[in-house]
Amino acid sequence: MVRYGAIAVGLFFSGWLFISFLVGGYSYVTEPPAATVEHEFHLAPKHVAFSFDGPFGKYDKAQLQRGFQVFKEVCSACHSLKFVAFRDLEALGYNEAEVKAIAKQWAIKTPSVDPATGEASTRDPVPADHFPKPFANNVAAAAANNNAIPPDLSLMTKARHHGSAYVYSLLTGFQDQPAELLKHFPDAKTPEGLHYNPYFANLNLAMAPPLSAEGQVTYGDGTKASVDQMAQDVSAFLTWTAEPKLENRHRAGLATIIFLLIATGLAYMSYQNIWADKKKAAV
């Protein structure tokens, strides 16, 4: 009796699910979802090649150093790298003295207050310190950025699909709103104080184009600092901040594949050797 009851319950829920599927399909066909400006004009990230792409990819330390320079001179005014310590920069090719010199270009606020000025005291960072935040708190960050809080960039390329290409596309994607958008969605005009970028989720963001002119940064290695080059370099650097062990992971993956291939070959040969006599006997 219990079995029949279970079958009846199962048939009821299966039937209800089937009916819901039919009703949903009919509603979709008769009343399709309305087109939205984000759906129509949001673009997938541009295709851009990096040295660390693919299973054999490696970081270009010269590019990472250039990317760090772009972050330091352009991005660090608003964005933080709270998960990166100054000593981590040694992986980019900087020696200990250079890391200490870089750290001194920032200031770490302390809990104490300077009695002469009433402001928070600061100290010089040491290599073990993490990059300090550019603003005291979110209120100060929002007040300085049109009520938008600049996100931390430590893990940004891990937080976005096609992260490296996404950052590159966002930095090079600022443009005027297309006439076709305003024709079909006249109410979607970019609000005052925001900037149109088709690679951002809702097409408008508070950040002004950070890379706006060629030569905005003077590279120490003589590389021409075009907007495209700076965008690629800082995208590579932010990929490193999110995945500093990427090269180790690639090497471990390659070693694992080689091991599995060898183990598979040995297992097959062992199988042939063990069962060879029995196969002959069976024949």
Residue recorded with tokens 């109410």: 187
Q: Is 230 annotated as a binding residue?
A: no
Taking the CA atoms of residue 210, residue 50, residue 225 and residue 197 in that order, the dihedral angle to the nearest 10 degrees is: -30
152 exposure class (CB count in 10 Å sphere: 0-12, 13-18, 19+):
middle
d(CA 20, CA 10): 15
d(CA 96, CA 77): 25
Q: Is 161 annotated as a binding residue?
A: no
Q: Name the token pair of 16.
A: 């209800």
DSSP state string for 30-92 = HSPPPP-HHHHH--PPPP---TT-STT----HHHHHHHHHHHHHTGGGT---TT-BGGGGGGG
Which H/E stretch holds residue 112? strand 108-113
Cα torsion angle, 54, 59, 62, 66, sign: positive
d(CA 170, CA 176): 14
Residue recorded with tokens 């199962």: 10
- Count Cα neighbours of 54 within 13 Å in the Cβ-side half-sphere: 7
Please state the residue numbers annotated as binding site for heme c: 75, 78-79, 207
Please state the residue numbers annotated as binding site: 75, 78-79, 207
